[in-house]
Chain A
């Protein structure tokens, strides 16, 4: 294993169902993710890319194989231990934001920050810093219903980053956004990878986004069919 790897997946399989209804969502995946690297996982609908994201993030358990994150094999951990690993290492950005509608932008970030709060005054500063990073400090007291889709996704990004995760997993983060807003969010993700050294994985079916990646993984029928270097273009130049 490369000494710099943050995540190492070895011969990972995910099989749903049994007998005739059996579906092999992932088939023998081998993968390594490195800090500071922006990886785009590309594939059509049903290719297994979201399943791969879930397995890496400890949200689903592989049927067989090994997934090591931060020195721990996720396939050997129970649900509460997995939650602990996610709490300490991961951030998630979802396609539909999943913001709590009754909490303000600041509070949506704070509710996650409290999970890793170790007391003292640092909590509020971390929250503010996360909102500053996504340029939404002036919207801190707005509720999701008062924010545009892009602003909501930026709040979701701030929420994902407030715990200073080593790994940021994004499932179709621009799927519900228009072009300009989507590009802006992608730029933030790119900056997160480059400036904070966070490993960022973006799952998408939109091949245009792959231009901004340091690395592109193409997934089809549950297998990684290509693992190539990306253009690492600026997100501002991405268009679709």
Chain B
């Protein structure tokens, strides 16, 4: 049966409480817009990556070192494998634009394209030929190189001048990450070049391929890809591979997937938070409405209106706010997703030809609407059911039954409070009069705090990470990489550079760490026993020294080798040379960036022999030294092929942290809006409910500011109830979020900054105070005569 007049009542009820309704709509809108923006952005970016992987036949497995031909044969014979390609990869020093740096040369056919790991041409030639090479786009932009420009590569046969014949993009280097241990390379410290096989062989001094790339069929990837890859990994390890990486572990892809997974997390976290807040506010508002309309509901029931008709009437209020919020929020979110996706793909320089941005995804719209409708229905359900329980006899009773006429719990626990000034007792009893409403208001404040703190504590964690990494761990200011062994001669030359206060040679070798049946590729760095270039901090935060008879391993390795413990024996296999030795893990160390193995030089020599010399040196400088000048001077020294400034790395991390501040600022605004919406709604309900008693107090001569203090104080006290749970939830939420981002590449240990917690709490309480202003204004403008004469509406 249709009830058009009841619907008209609904529309007018909404208009009468337009401010509260708008608060609900805005809260729903924010949640749904953020959902649509993050869900769409995530899907756009994932689709773009998938498109890049499909177009370029991005490998499912990257196998480095060992018996490549044997492994490739095994892989080709494996069911589910579509193609296997072999290539050579070498990391020679390069010099371009006056800068020396560590580069990477990858062999690429002079004609056609390989079956696995194709390139996307951006300009110029599509294939290298002779000394004409293709540049990966990031190197081209870093060094400002275009077709026709030249630079040098120093390999086994000496230095070769090469010419840029084309610029390409590769899915392998969308994020130009040298390795999993070195996820972020400073500009002008790393570059990728594609050369034909003969030039690559000349540079490396060998024509044997040292990498095998495996591509699965789409069907196999979907059905049992993990199983096939596990099988192939075992085979690769048996064939002596020094590193085996799946697509997910490939450095660039791994970093980018971590990044976009943040969008996926936001796509469900935000709507849950905001819709929960809207739900609380809707519940409070509707429950009050049902209470207020008890006599009318009773009259409807007395006149024979069905319970479900009454329930539907109140359910529609919550659904209306949800649907309006969703209808506005979805297009906003979709627009936002487009802009976000475009910016992100531009930032990582994904070629336009590979970008997939779908302006409209039907499933996102449906899910967004469903989120909103379900939330609206759930929030309105209890008040709607409450309405059906109003008996017709309630119509006889006139006003809603008065509640709360008893001592509060806290007065019974603390009896002296019963003799407190009446206005204090009024505040206490008002709070306990509507426990559910007070709880929901506090919960809303808690949720707003959760939102702010999760992002705010990520800032303090980032700062903590940077302080630890560049204050405790990296105690050097730079690393010079040589093409010759570093002896006292080189160290003296380094110390002779103006501003340099000390230099130490270090041995660095890529290794595979094997434990149980698992393997992890990283590097071992051997320092002087009493090194001052690197700090070692155990998991308890104590400074420790390098052991005499074992190695230190960063604790993050347990992400890959979960059962590894201090005292266990591990096998270290050098990637270059293939020698394996068994050593003891003397202790774990805590480091934020990367996963590494450390020893002193004597232990390294004892373990692996004296044939592996140090090829780099770490140096310290004076505090006021010009780091750029030092870099330029060091690069001029004989044998130096590249120089990495620690300070520049720190600056890069600080820039990343800077992005977090923008994010936190946005969360502060959103959290504030959420808290405002909830407190404004509950405050309005409180005032309407108590209009007559407030008017009576005014009529009796109580000052306006006293009244405002009573009502405002009560709401602020309720808001503070949400502070402690909100802080606890925020800390737990931040920890969970950081754990989800932690890996062998980053160890994100939560750092709780008391200042950030304090700022968040003060900000929320300020918003709580501000959100009461409309209600307090309503008290000020109350028509006392009218209210005390008539029943409150």
Q: Using a CB–CB distance below 8 Å, which chain A residues touch chain B?
A: 50, 54, 57, 59-60, 79-80, 83-88, 90-92, 94-96, 98-103, 107, 110-112, 114-115, 117, 145, 159-160, 163, 171
B5 close to chain A: CB less than 8 A = yes
Known: A111-B300, A171-B396. 11 other contacts (CB 8 A): A57-B302, A59-B391, A87-B304, A87-B305, A92-B392, A96-B398, A98-B395, A99-B296, A102-B12, A111-B6, A159-B303
Provide the residues of chain B in CB contact with A145, threshold 8 Å.
793
Q: Given the complex, which residues of A lie within 8 Å of B393, measured CB to CB? A: 54, 59-60
The reply to whether A95 and B304 form a contact with Cβ atoms under 8 Å apart is no
Looking at the assembled complex, report how far the CB atom of B43 sits from the nearest CB atom of chain A, in whole angstroms.
Answer: 44
- Is the pair A98, B296 in contact by a Cβ cutoff of 8 Å? yes
* B299–A83 touching, CB < 8 Å: no
Interface membership of B406, Cβ < 8 A: no
Q: With a CB–CB cut-off of 8 A, which chain B residues contact A87?
A: 303-305
* Chain B neighbourhood of A54, CB < 8 A: 392-393, 396
Whether the pair A92, B395 counts as a contact (CB closer than 8 A) is yes
A90 and B304: CB pair below 8 A?
yes
Please report B residues at the A interface, Cβ cutoff 8 Å: 1-6, 8-9, 12-13, 16, 295-296, 298-307, 391-393, 395-396, 398, 791, 793
Q: Is B304 touching A86 in the complex (CB atoms < 8 A)?
A: yes
Distance from A66 Cβ to chain B, minimum over Cβ atoms (Å): 20
Residues of B within 8 A of A95 (CB): 396, 398
**Chain A hits for B8, CB < 8 A:** 103, 107
In contact, A98 and B299 (Cβ under 8 angstroms): yes
CB <8 Å contact, A100 and B303:
no
Asked if A80 meets B307 with Cβ closer than 8 Å, knowing A59-B393, A114-B2, A114-B3, the reply is yes
Residues on A with C-beta less than 8 A from B2 are: 114
Complex: A100 Cα to B8 Cα, angstroms:
11
The answer to whether B304 touches A103, judged by C-beta atoms less than 8 angstroms apart, is: no
Cβ A83 vs Cβ B5 within 8 A: no
Complex contacts, A117 vs chain B, CB 8 Å: 1
Contacts of A86 in B (CB 8 A): 302-304, 392
Q: B395, A103: Cβ atoms under 8 Å?
A: no
Contacts of A92 in B (CB 8 A): 299, 302-303, 392, 395
**B295's contact among A80, A96, A114, A160, by CB below 8 Å, is which?**
A96
Q: Is the CB of B301 within 8 A of A83?
A: yes
| A91, A101, A160: most-surrounded residue (chain B CB, <10 A) | A101
**Distance from B691 Cβ to chain A, minimum over Cβ atoms (Å):** 14
Tell me how many residue pairs across A and B have CB atoms closer than 8 Å: 94
B5 touching A102, Cβ below 8 Å = no
Instruction: Kindly report which residue of chain B lies nearest to residue A203, judged by CB atoms.
Output: B396
Q: Are B304 and A115 in contact (CB under 8 A)?
A: yes
Contact partner, A102, options B9, B298, B301, B305, Cβ 8 Å: B9
CB–CB B305/A94 < 8 A: no
Q: Are A50 and B396 in contact (CB under 8 A)?
A: yes
- Measured in the bound complex, the distance between the Cα atoms of B398 and A102 in whole Å is 17
**Chain A positions within 8 Å of B301 at CB level:** 83
Q: Are B5 and A110 in contact (CB under 8 A)?
A: yes
Residues on the B chain within 8 Å of A84, using CB: 304
Q: Are B304 and A88 in contact (CB under 8 A)?
A: yes
Q: How far, in whole Å, are A112 and B299 apart by their CA atoms in the complex?
A: 10
Determine whether the beta carbon of B392 is less than 8 Å from that of A100. no
- Within the assembled complex, what's the spacing in Å between the Cα atoms of A160 and B398? 17
Cα–Cα, bound, A107→B296 (Å): 14
A-chain residues with CB within 8 Å of residue B16 when the two chains form the complex: 102
**Which residues from chain A contact B12 at a C-beta distance below 8 Å?**
102-103
Which single member of B6, B392, B398, B791 contacts A59 (CB below 8 Å)?
B392
Smallest CB-CB separation from B292: which chain A residue?
A: A101
CA–CA, A163 and B305, complex, Å: 12
Contact residues in A for B793 (Cβ distance below 8 Å): 101, 145
Is there an interface contact between A96 and B303, defined as CB atoms closer than 8 Å?
Answer: no
Q: Which residue of B lies closest to A176 (CB)?
A: B398
10 closest cross-chain pairs (CB), A and B: A87-B304, A102-B12, A59-B392, A98-B299, A111-B5, A86-B304, A96-B398, A92-B302, A98-B295, A110-B5
- Expressed in whole angstroms, the Cα–Cα distance for A27 and B616 within the complex equals 105
Contact of A115 with B395 in the complex, beta carbons under 8 Å: no
Q: Once bound together, how far apart are the Cα atoms of A49 and B325, in whole Å?
A: 50
Give the nearest-CB partner of A113 in chain B.
B5
Write the chain B residue with the least CB distance to A145: B793
Is B306 a contact of A80 with CB atoms below 8 Å?
yes
- Which residues of chain B are within 8 angstroms of A85 by Cβ–Cβ distance? 304
User: Which of A84, A87, A96, A111 counts the most chain B CB atoms within 10 A?
Assistant: A111
